[in-house]
Structure 1
């Protein structure tokens, strides 16, 4: 039986743990929280921080693992380091460093003529008064889930956003970058043996921009784009992946598209979160992204051939649509609902994905039907 070390046992890691169990893989799950939901599903639960490289290396040696993976950003560097030391398939340490540091990505893309927002690397000593060409986007160089990310339109907002972003940066560095106007997408890929395949392009909508936040509110697959737009996005992302040197791992790339081109906002060398790869990609294409990640991490062939062509979406609950969404899941239209999670109502401002009030995952045979449902609940 293959032994797989999974870093992280929270709610977002539970699907990969359950998938590994269903495939007959011996699952070793590490999390510093002994009560994390995924720990109870593990064949072996390790109460250790997913960032404790020395301890995890010791466990990897003692337990003679066949592979290691994570679905979170922070432990990616740990996965790469252990994989390199034990000869396991995963991204390299250099790739992991680039994909977990927004500054390194921006610098690499700018030097190689890949469209990306203009940016400025800042620390606590940066003189903010020199920034006057608003609006800007302020973000930590090494955070995720929109934590610490804010759009600012004036100096007072900039100073407050800067201090907030600094709180979320492990390296105590912040990017101040130009705001790119455009439609938003994410691109899900797998690279194995230096061959990259685009599995899906997801259309994304956000809420909170007027308040300065970028919280993803709706994801739709397949993205409603033309063949020309698909080719532009695909070519840009594939060039960026080749430039970084990704291999033996998935990637999740965020893109903004406007009349001047496709801008790379960020590339992560992991599966896309927010239920994109655990739910939406399988529902729209039949491709098992979680199973592929497990196989890839164990050095086994992946299967990214589309089994069918359907439509899927996730609508997150917020203060404006909460009542409509609750009523919807009780209606006859709920036949399109794959699953949902509704949290108690709160009128708190949604500043990151952690503040959302639940979700509804949908699947339909046609985009017209999907659009009809989304109009009802958005």
Structure 2
């Protein structure tokens, strides 16, 4: 029987909604710390919390004061970040309250890509060459030193926002002109005015879904990713477990663990993105939380029967952790994207998906009349479908084939545009 605890989440949104749901379904008292009382409706977690605390989630002191002046000041059992952007602030407040969690320095490095790259270099973790820059002149010098093609990205954003593949100095100038105007990201967090020029890593992309206990994997699996055509890096297919490069899976996992230890994460869940280059696995980035994009909320559940959010809540509460694989199947998610800019009318072919035994769910993110564009970041994806299969290849091939069979219909345009 579960002992009821009081668990607070800082701004549940996106993957963080699954955190709140896991704790609520375990019977715990769930407190959501939010920047606005509108957020439960906005992010879809109405009915799965017991109380709200309003604070400026972008400010450590505001978070701390809001908690200690709340009815839960002396009886919080866990404080859990439920959005990437507040993860380091949550870690700092948890430390001040004497609660378990990811160490502040580790959360800070995970949140800031330049600090993470510095840690990888210090601990000999296979990564990418990089330079931190502020201006076009610095970026041009860095790109010249590293060698084109390079990648330009913000140091503290997410979801592939303003990440650019750069082939030459002209493209670099255009991208810099855009990125310096990128001031505010999700939940009104400020974008740092420092950017990374990185070596472009050639090779297939994966993520490693991990749960560590004192530096050793309690659970691990590798997810294969397909990304949109260059110059963008939008993830459009995830398949778990990976159907490809299975013979190198252990090397990919070991590299991910090494990266986590380098930034100071020894316990709990993580989602580590990796490129498998001709010289072996190279780290793209580390996230000290379960994977988003329905990887943890759906693919892990369908493939293995694992609820990593429930396990994570138990980790923060210092309860026993259950991550036993209940079955061995596979699951895939494929996203619908537009091939051009326009005004959305509908997606044709969705009705038939519900009749397919191996389609778990489909979802559309946009409404008739919305302006849509080719996918430059995850925000531009139009919808998705999730499939299962007895093997990873089966789940992947079905997801890809079904998405390719859908047609995006543009308003005032009779041509039906098939998704590729």
* TM-score by shorter chain over 0.5: yes
Name whichever of 25-34 and 125-134 sits farther off.
Answer: 125-134
Alignment of 1:224-263 (within 5 A): 224-263=243-282
Match of 1:55 in 2: 62
Specify whether residues 331 and 272 from structure 1 end up closer, same or farther in structure 2 by C-alpha distance, changes over 3 A only.
closer
Q: CA deviation at 1:277?
A: 0.8
* Counterpart in the other structure of 2:308: 289
Counterpart mapping for 1:91-110 below 5 A: 91-110=102-121
1:135 and 2:149 matched: yes
> SS state of the match for residue 200, structure 1?
strand
Distance in 2 between residues matched to 1:75 and 1:257, nearest whole Å: 30
Deviation per CA, 1:75-124: give whole Å up to 9, x if none.
11122112211221111011111111111111221233221111111013
Identify the residue that residue 377 of structure 1 maps to in structure 2: 403
| Residues 321-373 of structure 1 deviation map (CA, whole Å, 9 limit, x = unaligned) | 99997425515762211112113365412111111101111122233532441
Which of these residues, 347, 367, 390, is aligned with residue 344 of structure 1? 367
- Residue 416 of structure 2 corresponds to which residue in structure 1? none
Is 1:116–1:264's contact at 8 Å kept on the other side of the alignment? yes
RMSD: 2.4
Q: Which residue of 1 aligns with 2:12?
A: 9
* TM-score, normalised with respect to structure 1: 0.92
Residue 256 of structure 1, CA deviation: 0.2
Q: Does 1:87 align with 2:106?
A: no
The equivalent of 1:334 in structure 2 is 356
Q: Give the secondary-structure state (helix, strand or coil) at the position aligned to 1:219.
A: strand
Deviation, structure 1 residue 170? 2.9
Q: Is the 8 A contact 2:136 2:173 kept in 1?
A: no
Change (3 A) 1:326 1:304: farther
Which one is further off, 353-362 or 191-200?
A: 191-200
1:276 aligns with 2:295: yes
Native 8 Å contact 1:29 1:39 kept in 2:
no
1:295/1:369 CA distance change after superposition, 3 Å = same
Structure 1 residue 208: Cα displacement:
3.7
The match for 2:217 is: 196
Q: Is the 1:214–1:352 Cα contact (8 Å) retained in structure 2?
A: yes
Please say if 1:71 is aligned against 2:82: yes
1:19-43 Cα offsets, whole Å, 9 max, x none, are 2111101111122132122355321
Corresponding position: 1:116 with 2:127: yes
- 1:39 and 1:163, CA in 2 relative to 1: closer, same or farther beyond 3 A? farther
CA distance in 1, matches of 2:353, 2:94: 49
How many angstroms apart in 1 are the aligned matches of 2:289 and 2:306?
16
Q: Which residue of 1 aligns with 2:32?
A: 29
CA contact (8 A) 2:335 2:403 kept: no
Looking at structure 2, the residues matched to 331 and 59 of structure 1 have their Cα atoms a distance apart, in angstroms, of 46
**Distance across 2 between alignment mates of 1:323 and 1:361:** 22
Q: Indicate conservation of the 8 Å contact 1:221/1:280, yes or no.
A: yes
Unpaired runs of 5+ in structure 1? none
8 Å contact from structure 2 (residues 166, 172) kept in 1: yes
Structure 1: how far apart are the matches of 2:285 and 2:303? 24
What stretches of structure 2 of length at least 5 have no aligned partner?
184-189, 405-420
Shift of residue 310, structure 1, vs aligned partner: 0.6
